[in-house]
């Protein structure tokens, strides 16, 4: 029995993309749909018997109609040309009224597609044999953390008790597991969510636990008894995922023996171009960054590039973003991030600045703000000449 597990399609992510006049669609939308096409082709070519989607089809709860149509076309194709498809409802798929989901319509028009919008066990009689899928959609409601956790564990026990232990079973869930790895942005977003322990999951009768919600692919149970696997998102959603591989899982069940492998998707690369400009004495900041780009060769072609520069606050203006972006013209998208380093005040005016003359105040200001002694001396000379002219004008007026 061959089963395909994928998750977190997040159709609707447009960040780092641009309008494509040939398709009328944002380039990032196309990236995510390209991954879906790859998954559909793989399922058909490898004669997959059942496809499990672990939630978050769309990036927003009210997806545009064009996104819904694009996703539906691919799901319907998988169901028609390959095998049954189970679509689990994730937190991004739940409507604002907490009653309807963006996936609910598939129960009405799509044959061979089952929507997992409730906590239940469904038995599938496939050509290769029977299997049970327990669906655990993302909880909805306004319960506090403790009550959410208690309710979730009760549902989990109910699903376990409903399993026929003579038939292989898979738990398909959209949740956060305590020991899972995720980025700082996701940790902040999920900080109020209930957490399920790995012990809660491996204690069940499952042959495999198929998870969605967190974007990093990972297996939380190295012993694989059962494997507790986040498939991960099908594309990189933001720069925090720049170094992560993206893909889906191919599961094989023979009797009650379960094996699985991660299949990597050819997603768009994301790269940081980092440079520390703090100690560049001749302040050739732009030329230095351009030389780094040249050294990297074609690595930035078709990639999403974030240029991250560490620089003093007084030198920020010396970086020519236009020239750097031009050198990266082969990239899909270029953005800049400056780690501004504010230098400490090296001069103090003393107990009372009123005791200093105007010239002394200006001189101390230049010493504090301008490190180059030649430039500082020149500006101080000009300032003194201007003050002299002002004094002469006042004498003439008097």
Q: Where does a domain end: 208, 231, 264? A: 264
Residue 347 covered by a domain: no
Residues 314 and 232 in one domain: no
Mean pLDDT score of the chain: 88
Cβ atoms 135, 119 nearer than 8 A:
yes
Q: How far apart (Å, rounded) are the C-alpha atoms in residues 76 and 51? A: 12
| pLDDT surpasses 60 at 346 | no
Residues 140 and 37 in one domain: yes
Q: How far apart (Å, rounded) are the C-alpha atoms in residues 212 and 205? A: 19
Sort strands 208-212 and 227-230 into parallel, antiparallel or unpaired: parallel
- Across the range 87-97, mean pLDDT stands at 82
Residues 96 and 73 in one domain: yes
What is residue 192's predicted lDDT score, i.e. its pLDDT? 62
Residues 171 and 219 in one domain: yes
| pLDDT surpasses 60 at 350 | no
Residues 204 and 333 in one domain: no
| pLDDT surpasses 90 at 236 | yes
Residues 130 and 228 in one domain: yes
| pLDDT surpasses 90 at 355 | no
Q: Which of 5-19, 131-145, 169-183 has the highest average model confidence (pLDDT)?
A: 5-19
Residue 223 covered by a domain: yes
Residues 106 and 244 in one domain: yes
Read off the pLDDT band of 347 (50, 70, 90). very low
**Among the ranges given (157-161, 211-215, 392-396), the one the predictor scored with the smallest mean pLDDT:** 392-396
Residue 204 covered by a domain: yes
* Count of domains for the chain: 3
Read off the pLDDT band of 353 (50, 70, 90). low
- Across the range 310-322, mean pLDDT stands at 93
Q: Where does a domain end: 300, 316, 341? A: 341
What is residue 193's predicted lDDT score, i.e. its pLDDT? 74
Helices (H), 110-240: 145-161, 184-189, 198-202
- Across the range 46-58, mean pLDDT stands at 97
Residue 348 covered by a domain: no
Q: In the numeric block, which tokens belong to residue 137?
A: 């959609």
Q: Where does a domain end: 220, 243, 264? A: 264
Q: What is the per-residue pLDDT across 176-235, written as a single tens digit (0 to 9) for each?
A: 998 898 754 465 455 567 789 999 999 999 999 999 999 999 999 999 999 999 999 999
Residues 200 and 75 in one domain: yes
Residues 332 and 249 in one domain: no
**Among the ranges given (25-34, 59-68, 304-313, 340-349), the one the predictor scored with the smallest mean pLDDT:** 340-349
Residue 316 covered by a domain: yes
- Across the range 160-188, mean pLDDT stands at 85
Residues 32 and 137 in one domain: yes
Q: How far apart (Å, rounded) are the C-alpha atoms in residues 125 and 121? A: 13
Cβ atoms 384, 392 nearer than 8 A:
no
Q: In the numeric block, which tokens belong to residue 343?
A: 């230098």
> Which structural domain range is residue 278 located in?
270-341
Read off the pLDDT band of 106 (50, 70, 90). confident
What is residue 149's predicted lDDT score, i.e. its pLDDT? 83
Residue 346 covered by a domain: no
**Among the ranges given (32-36, 269-273, 312-316, 360-364), the one the predictor scored with the smallest mean pLDDT:** 360-364
- Taking the model in full, what pTM does it have? 0.82
| pLDDT surpasses 90 at 374 | no
Q: How far apart (Å, rounded) are the C-alpha atoms in residues 353 and 39? A: 71
Sort strands 304-312 and 333-341 into parallel, antiparallel or unpaired: parallel
Residue 199 covered by a domain: yes
| pLDDT surpasses 70 at 354 | no
What is residue 397's predicted lDDT score, i.e. its pLDDT? 46
Q: In the numeric block, which tokens belong to residue 308?
A: 């991250």
- Across the range 81-108, mean pLDDT stands at 83
Residue 314 covered by a domain: yes
| pLDDT surpasses 50 at 246 | yes
Q: At a CB cut-off of 8 Å and minimum separation 6, what does 22 contact? A: none
Residues 386 and 238 in one domain: no
Cα–Cα distances in Å, from 171 out to 78, 120, 277? Answer: 21, 10, 51
What is residue 344's predicted lDDT score, i.e. its pLDDT? 57
Give the domain CATH number at 74: 3.60.21.10
Residues 184 and 304 in one domain: no
- Shortest CA distance to 284 belongs to which of 226, 324, 256? 324
What is residue 67's predicted lDDT score, i.e. its pLDDT? 95
Read off the pLDDT band of 111 (50, 70, 90). confident
């Amino acid at each position: 029995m061959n089963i395909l597990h994928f998750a977190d399609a997040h159709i609707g992510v447009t960040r780092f993309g641009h309008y494509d006049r040939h398709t009328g669609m944002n380039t990032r939308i196309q990236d995510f749909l390209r991954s879906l096409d790859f998954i559909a082709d793989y399922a058909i070519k490898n004669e997959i018997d059942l496809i499990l989607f672990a939630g978050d089809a769309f990036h927003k709860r009210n997806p545009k109609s064009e996104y819904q149509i694009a996703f539906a076309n691919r799901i319907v194709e998988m169901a028609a040309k390959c095998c049954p498809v189970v679509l689990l409802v994730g937190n991004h798929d739940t409507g604002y009224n907490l009653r309807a989901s963006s996936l609910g319509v598939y129960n009405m028009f799509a044959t061979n597609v089952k929507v997992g919008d409730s906590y239940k066990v469904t038995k599938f009689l496939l050509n290769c044999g029977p299997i049970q899928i327990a669906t655990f959609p993302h909880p909805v409601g306004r319960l506090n953390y403790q009550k959410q956790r208690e309710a979730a564990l009760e549902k989990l026990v109910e699903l376990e008790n409903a399993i026929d232990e003579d038939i292989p079973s898979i738990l398909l869930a959209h949740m956060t597991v305590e020991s899972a790895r995720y980025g700082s942005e996701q940790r902040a977003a999920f900080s109020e969510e209930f957490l399920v322990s790995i012990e809660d999951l491996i204690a069940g009768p499952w042959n495999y636990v198929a998870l969605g919600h967190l974007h990093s692919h990972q297996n939380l149970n190295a012993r694989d008894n059962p494997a507790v696997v986040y498939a991960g998102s099908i594309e990189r959603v933001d720069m925090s995922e720049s170094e992560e591989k993206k893909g889906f899982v191919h599961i094989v069940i023979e009797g009650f023996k379960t094996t699985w492998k991660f299949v990597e998707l050819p997603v768009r690369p994301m790269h940081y171009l980092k440079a520390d400009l703090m100690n560049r004495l001749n302040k050739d900041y732009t030329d230095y960054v351009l030389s780094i780009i040249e050294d990297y060769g074609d690595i930035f072609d078709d990639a999403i590039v974030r240029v991250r520069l560490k620089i003093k606050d007084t030198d920020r203006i010396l970086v020519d973003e236009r020239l750097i972006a031009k050198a990266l013209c082969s990239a899909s998208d270029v953005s800049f991030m400056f780690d501004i380093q504010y230098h400490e005040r090296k001069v103090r005016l003393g107990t009372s600045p009123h005791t200093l003359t105007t010239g002394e105040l200006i001189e101390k200001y230049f010493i504090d703000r301008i490190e180059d002694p030649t430039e500082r001396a020149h500006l101080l000379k000009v300032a003194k000449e201007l003050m002299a002219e002002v004094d002469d004008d006042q004498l003439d007026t008097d």
